[in-house]
Amino acid sequence: MSHHVTQNFFWSELIGNKDSDDLPVLTRYLLLRLAEDVLQPLRNFFGCKIRVTNCLRWPSDYYVLLSRGWNPSLTSDHYAGLAVPTTTPEHKKRFGAYYTQSVGAADIVPECGVEKAWDAMRDVAGCNGAEIMAHKSRIVCGQVIYERSGTSEWLHVSNPPSVVFSNEWVNLTFHRRPWLKSVDGGNTYQEV
């Protein structure tokens, strides 16, 4: 099953080899919003093809990434609302037995160049979180991260939490820094 979700993006690019019938309806909704409100507008803004290298993660992917030497986050937006078991006492205290507040994210490689795309976004960044004042539309992301690991680089882009949560709830529980840069494979992040 690989139909278009927007003009330039396929459902299979968002869910990989997962079966969409296994996905909770909230997860499907978050991925739809990500494609329609973030990925397609960015594609139009960059004016070049975007390769999606990673989008939906299954909670078990966390352990796979860990074993491969990556630095995955349990609270990553890649889980798109799926319940991820918390393991540390600190996470249990803050979130309970499961973290369920991820809002959907994708790692993308624009064909025009990752650094060029990042610079283009930063040039027209608004002052309200990670918003991009593209000439035709305003693109609202939750977070944009420029990531580099060895010779590969990509952009991490997420839905804004307001896609499903009220402003009050967002202010209470979300403390995401909107623009970040990491050039050491996710070990350290630098605020931009």
Binding site for Zn ion (CB under 5 A): 107, 156
Query: Which residue sits closest to Zn ion, CB atoms considered?
Result: 156
Nearer to Zn ion, 43 or 156 (CB): 156
Q: Considering the complex, what minimum distance in angstroms separates the CB of residue 81 from Zn ion?
A: 16
Please report how close the Cβ of residue 93 comes to Zn ion at its closest, in angstroms.
Answer: 25
- The CB-of-105 to Zn ion minimum distance in angstroms stands at 5
When the beta carbons of 115 and 171 are compared against Zn ion, the nearer one is 115
- Nearest-angstrom CA–CA distance, 143 and 81: 16
The residues, any chain, with a CB within 8 Å of residue 99's CB and separated by 6 or more, are: 74, 75, 79, 83, 84, 86, 91
Smallest separation, CB 155 to Zn ion (Å): 9
Closest to Zn ion by CB, 113 or 186? 186
Contact indicator for 75, 86 with CB cutoff of 8 Å: no
In 111-186, the DSSP E strands lie at 130-133, 138-141, 144-149, 152-158, 179-182
